[in-house]
Amino acid sequence: MILLRILEYDLHRSRQGDAIPLCVGVPAKQEFLPAIVTNSKGEFVTIDHLGPTEGMRGLVPNVPWDDDSIYGLVFSWDSDRLDDVIGDMCSAAYDLSVSKEWGNVFSGRAAARRAFEYVRSSSGLDGQPHVCLVPEDWSSSRIKRFFGKANIDDQRKYRRYCRIIPSKASFPVFLSRPDFVGMYTQFMGGSSSIVLHNICLGMGFCP
C-alpha cells in the first residue's frame, strides 16, 4: 500500500481498534491550518479551525471533544483500495495551496529541484522530502527527464534518499515525513479516515 510507505515514519498512524468511531481527532497547532480532512463520503474538505464543527458535535453527542485537535470523519472504504484516494487527496491539497498562494507550487525549468529544496528547507531536517509521488502512467524515460537521469539511482531514489513512487497523483508531489506534514490515517475494517495538515511547509507540487 502506497499510503503505508508514505507513512513509514509516521508517529500518528493508528491501528485498528475494537470499535469503529465516526470521527478521528488529531492533536495540532493553529499554524498547521487550514487542513484537508475526509468527510463521511470520503471526499476531501478544508478545515480552517481547531476543534469539532457544530455538525460533528450533533453527529457524535456526549464525546469529550478536544479544542486543540483537527477532526476528520470516518468514511466507508475498502482499506485494500485506499491508495485510490491519493489522487483526490493531492488535488485537494494542491487547490488549497494555490488558493492560499503559499509558494509551494513549482513549474517550468528545474521544477523537481526547486520543489525538493523547498520541502527540505521548510522541514529543517536531513533526509526530507522522503517521497515523491508521480503519475502511475509515467514511463521510465519521462521520470528521468523530469528528475534528471544523473539524479536517480538504481533504487529509483532522487538525490539519494527521496523515493519515487508511482501513484494516482496527477503530477509529481514531494512529501516531507508524515509527522511533519501531518498526515494521519486510521484504517479500520471497511472504514478509514485521513487528516492532512501543515500542507504549506510539508508538500511541494509540480503540476
Phi, then psi, of 47 in degrees rounded to 5: -115, 130
Average pLDDT along the chain: 85
C-alpha cell, 169: 497523483
Q: What is the pLDDT of residues 106-122, one digit of tens each?
A: 999 999 999 999 999 98
Element (H, E) at 87: helix 86-100
In this structure, are residues 94 and 200 in contact, taking their beta carbons and an 8 Å threshold?
no
- Assign 56 a pLDDT band (cuts: 50, 70, 90): confident
CB 47 within 8 A of CB 71: yes
Amino acid at 75: F
Give the three-class secondary structure for 202.
Answer: helix
**pLDDT band of 24, cuts 50, 70, 90:** confident
Confidence of residue 146 (pLDDT cuts 50, 70, 90): very high
Taking alpha carbons only, the member of 29, 206, 4 closest to residue 119 is 206
